[in-house]
Structure 1
């Protein structure tokens, strides 16, 4: 989030995705466990883009951006995982963002644009 000041957060845009870091960890575990077939990598909890932005703001921007609720976009892109044959546990959204921040800080040379 390079924005400053305020941004709109869509309260009715629902999502169940994961961070790239979580995806990479899950892919490594899937290879170890020889997982095959289609797998919806989700924690079975949805989050609005508004709430997701608030988490990014909290952990990446020290709450410096005003996130304004906006219900003008209504979309549900959530998935459900009903498979029980994979041991990887997708963390909460807050935990994924905390892990992502730690990864970025540990690997500053890959992400110089966050530290300019």
Structure 2
């Protein structure tokens, strides 16, 4: 999670392996409580039967949407996309709503459950 971990990990992978496609699947905060926890979005491509929304990447969790100009917020997607696009063109960013701008880091088991429940919607892009 976060800028440094994302960039460092990706640069290592791209410099040591032959990668042709990159997929980021993770959790995201949402400023609209009418959107259900567990809702899947793609934030960088319009895909059939997958919600699309813009996203803001921040360094610290947000407690309010006061200055947020997008529906979604996370801590690594823009760094993931920018780093991957230096090496390849086939990049997907999938995000699953985990909270409504809660600064508490969710439990790993909860995150795993959200990702597993969304798998059928994004697996065809692997």
Task: Place the TM-score, normalised by the shorter chain, in its bin.
Answer: under 0.3
TM value normalised by structure 1 = 0.25
Structure with larger Rg:
1
The structure carrying a bigger strand percent of its residues is 2
